[in-house]
Amino acid sequence: MSYDTIYKSLFIQARGVLKKQLLVYLRAKRPIRRSRHASLKGDGLGQIKDPISIRERSAAGEDRAVPGHWEGDLIEGSVNSFIATLVERQSRFVMLAKVSNRDTASVMTALIKQCQNLPRELYQSLTWDRGTEMAGHKRFTVATDVQVHFCDPQSPWQRGTNENTNRLLRQYFPRGTDLSVYSQSKLSAVARQLNERPRKTLGYETPAERFQACVASIR
Residue 72 has pLDDT above 50, yes or no: yes
- Provide the pLDDT confidence category of residue 154 given band limits of 50, 70 and 90: confident
Q: Tell me the pairing of strands 125-128 and 147-150.
A: parallel
20/52 same-domain check: no
Cα separation values, 196 from 36, 56, 93, Å: 28, 32, 9
Query: Minimal CA–CA distance to 33: which of 20, 46, 15, 47?
Result: 15
User: What percent of the chain has a predicted confidence (pLDDT) above 90?
Assistant: 64
Query: Which amino acid appears at position 65 of this protein?
Result: A
Domain count, the chain: 2
29/77 same-domain check: no
Instruction: Specify which residues 75 forms β-bridges with.
Output: 83
Query: Minimal CA–CA distance to 150: which of 57, 61, 52, 74?
Result: 52
Query: Which amino acid appears at position 111 of this protein?
Result: L
- Provide the pLDDT confidence category of residue 3 given band limits of 50, 70 and 90: low
Radius of gyration of the chain, Cα coordinates, nearest whole angstrom: 18
Rounded (5°) CA angle 110-111-115: 120
19/54 same-domain check: no
Residue 195 has pLDDT above 90, yes or no: yes
Please report which residue ranges of the chain form alpha helices under DSSP H.
3-11, 20-23, 59-62, 104-115, 137-144, 160-169, 184-195, 207-217
* Cα–Cα distance measured from residue 65 to residue 111, given in angstroms and rounded to the nearest whole number: 24
Average pLDDT, stretch 120-130?
Answer: 93
23/77 same-domain check: no
Q: What pLDDT shows up at residue 103?
A: 94
102/14 same-domain check: no
More reliable by pLDDT, 146 or 36: 146
Phi, psi angle pair for 74, to nearest 5°: -110, 135
Query: Minimal CA–CA distance to 135: which of 125, 148, 153?
Result: 148
Q: What pLDDT shows up at residue 61?
A: 84
Range of 16's domain?
1-33
Phi, psi angle pair for 34, to nearest 5°: -110, 155
Q: What pLDDT shows up at residue 31?
A: 55
212/145 same-domain check: yes
88/173 same-domain check: yes
CATH classification of the domain holding 106:
3.30.420.10
Task: Give the range with max mean pLDDT: 15-29, 76-90, 108-122.
Answer: 76-90
pLDDT digits (tens, 9 = 90+) for 31-40: 555 554 444 4
Q: What is the mean pLDDT of the chain?
A: 86
175/201 same-domain check: yes
Q: What pLDDT shows up at residue 68?
A: 94
11/63 same-domain check: no
Residue 70 has pLDDT above 70, yes or no: yes
79/185 same-domain check: yes
80/12 same-domain check: no
Q: Is the separation of the CB atoms in 57 and 69 below 8 Å?
A: yes
* Cα–Cα distance measured from residue 60 to residue 64, given in angstroms and rounded to the nearest whole number: 6
Q: What pLDDT shows up at residue 219?
A: 72
Residue 150 has pLDDT above 60, yes or no: yes
- Provide the pLDDT confidence category of residue 90 given band limits of 50, 70 and 90: very high
17/114 same-domain check: no
